[in-house]
Amino acid sequence: MKAFVMREIGRVGFMEKPVPQAGPGDAVVQTIRALICTSDSHTVQGGIGPRENLTLGHKAVGVVHAVASEVKDFRPGDRVLVGAITPEWGDRASQNGLPSQSGAPLVGFKFVNSKDGVFVDYFHVNEADANLAKIPDAISDEWRSTAQTCSRPASWGRRRGTSRLAEPWLSSPRARWD
């Protein structure tokens, strides 16, 4: 599957990656819409340090593709919202009200920090029952995706097998495009 990645600091492009597998308690979600956040451009500029071939993006709406047997609240086909922070909820920091710090500073912010993000056809979500939210079908994908952020996002969509990234970000003078 195609993924939009940070190849190295200051350089982005597309590459092929395998569809992830759901581990115990986890889910795999098919991206329907994902939002570009200013932190994505900071990441490409080196804001979290060097990364190679890391899939970008951390805010998405999608459809559950697969779940592990331990997942109780979600099934394939459910339309979901996935937040930027997907912590390990049993961690002491999460239990003390600091979910973005679960495991270590900013490790609860897993997408793009410690694992691949959501600018891809399918992505992995740890602790699915705690880190996914069902979205009613009456709410459009556009409204679902804008519920993710208070900023003015650009959207990346998956429509009929094609992916489009937001034009303003692609024309950024700071990112080299492959």
Along the 178 residues of the chain, how does pLDDT read in single tens digits?
Answer: 999 999 999 999 999 999 999 999 999 999 998 888 888 888 889 888 898 999 998 888 899 999 999 999 999 999 998 887 777 777 787 777 777 667 766 666 677 777 888 999 999 999 999 888 898 878 776 665 555 543 333 322 322 233 333 333 333 344 444 4
pLDDT of residue 145: 58
Residue 68's CB is within 10 A of a number of other CB atoms, namely: 14
Rounded CA separation 151/51 (Å):
25
Rounded CA separation 94/61 (Å):
23
pLDDT of residue 147: 54
pLDDT of residue 144: 56
Helix (H) or strand (E) holding 27: strand 27-36
pLDDT of residue 22: 94
Rounded CA separation 12/43 (Å):
11
